[in-house]
Structure 1
Amino acid sequence: MMRRLYPGREIEECEGSTLSDGVYPPSGTAYAASWPGVEVIADQRVMIDAPSQLTEDLVAASAGRRLVLHAMHSVVDWLAFAVWEDGHLVRSLSLSPDNGIIENIGEPLPFELPYWAGDRPADVLPWPGEEAEPYVLPFHPLDLGEDALRALCGFIQEGRTEPDDVDADAIELYGFHVRNPREPDPSESEAELRRAVEAMPPPRFFTLGSDGSLIEREGL
């Protein structure tokens, strides 16, 4: 399966994970599993802003079946998901508060309808000392993301589980290092980054003066 989905890549087996812990593998690593009728891949490389731009190799591999892409990033409240039926894209949505609606293709799926109808507004608490401001989107992407994950994949990452949810902790995934032989080895890139950090000058610290100017501080 890995050779079919990653043609031309160097693939080396490594330590695996579980469906609950392996949804965001390290860069260059993919977690995967296969059962009759179901194949699962977790890889940062498919977590793209515009799901409709998923690589043709992956879409072609889903011929005759349903393909689901699901990605979330809690730091920036980003959600993206898409559904293909027999290689044809039927629904794609990608949005975040910073970038708004990045992609919105096809008709909303049933689990989305309460969100677009305004029945699931975002409940965001302000920082201490700040006034609450309206959320820039009609709902919180991560709330919709959990409902999308349950509806499309049968499990959730956060929130209250339901009796019919898949026990993601019990689903084991194999681990693979996947590398494009035409790209630098990840260890070389990490070493280059370490050298760049070591060459940086010592950090400088500033505080805000009463007139709004920045005043440099000595150390922490």
Structure 2
Amino acid sequence: MGAKTWMLAYTDGNIRELLKTNPPMDRVATSALAKRLFPSETLKPIGDRDLSFTCPVANEIHIGCFPGVSIIAAKEFGGNRPSDLPAHFINMATANTVYLHAMHSVVIWSAYAIWVNGKIQRSLSVWCDGGILEDIGTRLPFEEPYWSSQHSVFDVDIDKGELPFLFDPLDFGEAALAELFGYHIAGADDPTHLQPKNIPLAGFQRVNPWWKLW
């Protein structure tokens, strides 16, 4: 499967702190949010998933509402440029702050973004083959070691335009995941991180209406 994510979080708090006690999922709120976010689709429950798998196939969503934070994983959140995210998912947020994290180990790409009060504050999307696909806003402190070549893995000359960064996009993606969501997928266990398998998400199959209106 590799390291893959495409998910949003709605919260005005610290995700790690809010989820570290493994709070129970509010299933009523979860179902209601799913219906609000995907109003044109019939959503059929397919059992629980968990936070360790936030890359559902195209006809599924994984979602969970907890005190102070909601997590949603769906295909719409895996675009190359987070700023292109349909405004509906920002406008329907249950908090003032929205976080996006996406990465795909097969193509060696990762992205993250933050919106506050509906306005994008930071977005970065980096791809091994395509360079920087999007770079909006001020860098967060966790990024600095990557831009200052402390995590160099590529033997290229930036000044010659061979590649605009020297770090592994997947390594960066794991760092962003740990910073924003409080856990990582690959690498050694960190006792300060969440255990994502302990955080349930409700799975739903997405069924589009078969009829068409003229």
TM-score category, normalised to shorter length: 0.7 to 0.9
Matched residue type, 2:144 = L
Note if 1:55 corresponds to 2:83: no
Which structure has the greater CA radius of gyration? 1
Whole-Å Cα distance in 2 between the matches of residues 183 and 74 of structure 1? 37
Whole-Å Cα distance in 1 between the matches of residues 119 and 94 of structure 2? 9
Q: Which residue of 2 aligns with 1:154?
A: 182
> How far does the alpha carbon of each residue in 1:101-150 deviate from its partner, in whole angstroms, 9 at most, with x for none?
11100011111011011111126xxxxxxxxx548432110111111001
Ranges of 4+ aligned residues in structure 1 off by more than 6 Å: none
Q: Which residue of 2 aligns with 1:11?
A: 43
Matched residue type, 1:90 = Q
Q: Which residue of 2 aligns with 1:68?
A: 99
Aligned residue among 179, 195, 209 for 1:167: 195
TM-score normalised per structure 1: 0.74
| Matched ranges for 1:94-133 at <5 A | 94-122=125-153
Once the 2 structures are TM-superposed, how far is the Cα of residue 64 of structure 1 from its aligned partner?
A: 4.5
| Matched ranges for 1:126-141 at <5 A | 134=156, 136=163, 137-141=165-169
Whole-Å Cα distance in 2 between the matches of residues 56 and 82 of structure 1? 14
Q: Which residue of 2 aligns with 1:34?
A: 65
Any unmatched runs of 5+ in structure 2? 1-32, 157-161
**Bigger relative CO (Cα 8 Å, ≥ 6 apart):** 2
The alignment partner of 2:36 has SS state of helix
**Is the contact made by 1:121 and 1:139 (CA closer than 8 Å) also made in structure 2?**
yes
Mark the CA change 1:63 to 1:13 in structure 2 (over 3 Å): closer, same or farther.
Answer: closer
Whole-Å Cα distance in 2 between the matches of residues 183 and 53 of structure 1? 28
**Is the contact made by 1:64 and 1:85 (CA closer than 8 Å) also made in structure 2?**
no
Q: Which residue of 2 aligns with 1:77?
A: 108
The alignment partner of 2:56 has SS state of coil
Q: Percent identity?
A: 36
Whole-Å Cα distance in 1 between the matches of residues 178 and 166 of structure 2? 21
Matched residue type, 2:110 = L
Once the 2 structures are TM-superposed, how far is the Cα of residue 58 of structure 1 from its aligned partner?
A: 0.7
Once the 2 structures are TM-superposed, how far is the Cα of residue 94 of structure 1 from its aligned partner?
A: 0.7
Whole-Å Cα distance in 1 between the matches of residues 66 and 198 of structure 2? 14
**Is the contact made by 1:62 and 1:86 (CA closer than 8 Å) also made in structure 2?**
no
TM-score normalised per structure 2: 0.76
Any unmatched runs of 5+ in structure 1? 124-132, 185-220
Aligned length: 174
